[in-house]
């Protein structure tokens, strides 16, 4: 990597087997094409739409994912909770969950000569969980690391409300390299560099079945709306898959972003 920049690919929520296969098919070429230094992916939906397991995590790591963030579904499988508790776990859980839970909400990564801080947060608006304030949590994390020099600071804000996401981005504009939203699985067309140098995108999107409802089959998603029955986790395993991501370039000397762009690719699985 050039001494003065870091290229980071941030991949949205990976949903199920078809999402993992899309990562395997597309990611190696993306890494080469864009000279990617670090690949981060959200894995809260990795194992059949909810949670993560050792085998599903290994599958995307073999394809080129370096580090992982998550969200409210990361607790769905006991195996995933064990992964969070590993001493050098490659998966974050939101930092603003109550103290005492397994895992960590922040991690300092060393990539070559570069030091990169990754932070994971959970939103509060329209979410079933009731975490601590993401704004104050993020502020406390940055204060705790104020004596350290990072080449980049990346924040995954796993949240429902677009207003909450944009507010957090502006709250830390110039203090972090990027605030990238996850959770809604729908990529937004608002990628931008905020006035003080933070790359921002309300939602990066997801990786999974293109002709689906957030990665789940249309039939299993439409019926609950009509009959008011609980939804079933029916995820297509073949067909067209989409990969949504954000490509961010950060100036190491300032920690500010100089570029952000949406990545969207389809592949037949």
* Each residue's pLDDT tens digit, 149-202: 999 999 999 999 999 999 999 999 999 999 999 999 999 999 999 999 999 999
What percent of the chain has pLDDT above 70? 99
For the domain bounded by 5-268, which CATH number is listed? 3.60.21.10
Q: Per-residue pLDDT for 3 more than 80?
A: no
Q: Where are the domains of the chain?
A: 5-268
CB 206, CB 214: distance < 8 Å: yes
Q: What is the pLDDT of residue 2?
A: 61
Distance (Å, rounded) from C-alpha 253 to C-alpha 169?
Answer: 21
If phi over 0 gives left and psi between -120 and 50 gives alpha, with beta otherwise, what is residue 67? beta
pLDDT (average), residues 51-75? 98
Q: What is the mean pLDDT of the chain?
A: 96
Q: What is the pLDDT of residue 72?
A: 97
Q: Which of 197, 162, 198 is nearest to 181 (CA)?
A: 162
Tens digits of per-residue pLDDT, 76-129?
999 999 999 999 999 999 999 999 999 999 999 999 999 999 999 999 999 988
0.95 exceeded by pTM: yes
Distances in Å between the alpha carbon of 249 and those of 73, 113, 152, 205, 257? 29, 16, 9, 19, 6
Q: Which residues contact 255 (CB under 8 A, 6 or more apart)?
A: 150, 151, 152, 153, 176, 177, 197
CB atoms within 10 A of CB 110: 9
Residue for token digits 């990786």? 207
**73 among known catalytic residues:** yes
Q: Per-residue pLDDT for 60 more than 90?
A: yes
Task: Please name the helix (run of DSSP H) or strand (run of DSSP E) that holds residue 109, with its range, or none.
Answer: strand 106-111
Distance (Å, rounded) from C-alpha 182 to C-alpha 203?
Answer: 5
Q: Which of 189, 164, 197, 208 is nearest to 41 (CA)?
A: 208
Residue tagged active-site, from 73, 158, 183, 185: 73
């Amino acid at each position: 990597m050039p001494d003065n920049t870091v290229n980071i690919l941030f991949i949205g929520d990976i949903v199920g087997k078809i999402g993992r296969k899309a990562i395997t098919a597309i990611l190696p070429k993306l890494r080469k094409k864009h000279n990617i230094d670090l690949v981060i992916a959200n894995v809260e939906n990795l194992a059949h739409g909810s949670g993560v397991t050792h085998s599903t995590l290994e599958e995307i790591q073999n394809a080129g994912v370096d580090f992982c963030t998550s969200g409210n579904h990361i607790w769905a499988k006991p195996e995933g909770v064990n992964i969070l508790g590993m001493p050098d776990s490659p998966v974050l859980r939101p930092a603003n969950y109550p103290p005492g839970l397994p895992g960590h909400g922040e991690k300092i990564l060393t990539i070559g000569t570069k030091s990169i801080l990754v932070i994971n947060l959970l939103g509060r608006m329209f979410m079933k969980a009731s975490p601590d304030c993401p704004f104050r949590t993020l502020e406390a994390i940055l204060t705790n690391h104020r004596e350290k020099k990072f080449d980049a600071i990346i924040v995954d804000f796993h949240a429902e409300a677009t207003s909450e996401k944009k507010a957090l981005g502006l709250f830390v504009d110039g203090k972090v390299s990027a605030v990238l939203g996850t959770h809604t699985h729908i990529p937004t067309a608002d990628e931008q560099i905020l006035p003080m140098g933070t790359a921002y995108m309300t939602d990066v999107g997801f990786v999974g079945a293109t002709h689906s409802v957030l990665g789940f089959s249309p039939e299993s998603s439409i019926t609950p709306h009509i009959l008011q029955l609980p939804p079933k986790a029916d995820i297509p395993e073949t067909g067209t898959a989409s990969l949504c991501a954000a490509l961010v370039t950060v100036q190491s000397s300032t920690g500010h972003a100089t570029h952000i762009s949406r990545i969207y690719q389809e592949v037949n699985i």
